[in-house]
Amino acid sequence: MSNEKTYPMTLAGKQKLEEELDLLKNVKRKEVVERIKVARDFGDLSENSEYDSAKEDQAFVEGRISLLESMIRNAVIIEEDANDDTVSLGKTVTFIEIPDGEEETYTIVGSAEADPLEGLISNDSPIAKGLLGRTIGDNVKILTPGGEMDVKIVSIS
């Protein structure tokens, strides 16, 4: 068991995963089983696309359930230190891109709850790796797949 991967996340991120797991187990799983039952009634399973589709959905749901259970079981809750002005997991960081001055704000979270469209970036992402351990006022060069980025950290909360 000690070889299992741990998943750093906020308490809110863990709760979100628990809600998704509950939905999959208590709603989606039952829906897929019902679709399989209905598709079986169509006859020959070798040429039954509804049955194949339902079985694929079942495999996806069961795989996701297994993954979520592992992530929740091995969750490491990020303790937020409000007094520390250093970029770390669970902190929200605002920086300005140099030289164009475009401001961006991200919260650094574990990979399990990352959602870039919501401003949540994984601690494994190039931007987070470049910012971790830095403080307000630091100028940072970040290597991204799209090239090098120069930023200045303006706030951490």
pLDDT of residue 1: 46
User: Looking at the domain 86-156, which fold is it?
Assistant: Chitinase A; domain 3 (3.10.50)
pLDDT digits (tens, 9 = 90+) for 2-19: 577 888 888 888 999 999
Most confident of 2-16, 22-36, 112-126: 22-36
Report in angstroms the alpha-carbon separations of 103 from 43, 97, 145, 150, 153: 59, 6, 20, 12, 10
> Running DSSP on this structure, what letter comes out for residue 108?
E
- Fold agreement between 7-77 and 86-156: no
Give the closest residue to 152 by CA, choosing from 135, 142, 139, 143.
139
Predicted model pTM: 0.72
- pLDDT-above-70 percentage for the chain: 94
Domain residue ranges in the chain: 7-77, 86-156
117: number of Cβ within 10 Å: 5
Q: Is the pLDDT of residue 88 over 90?
A: no
CATH of domain 7-77: 1.10.287.180
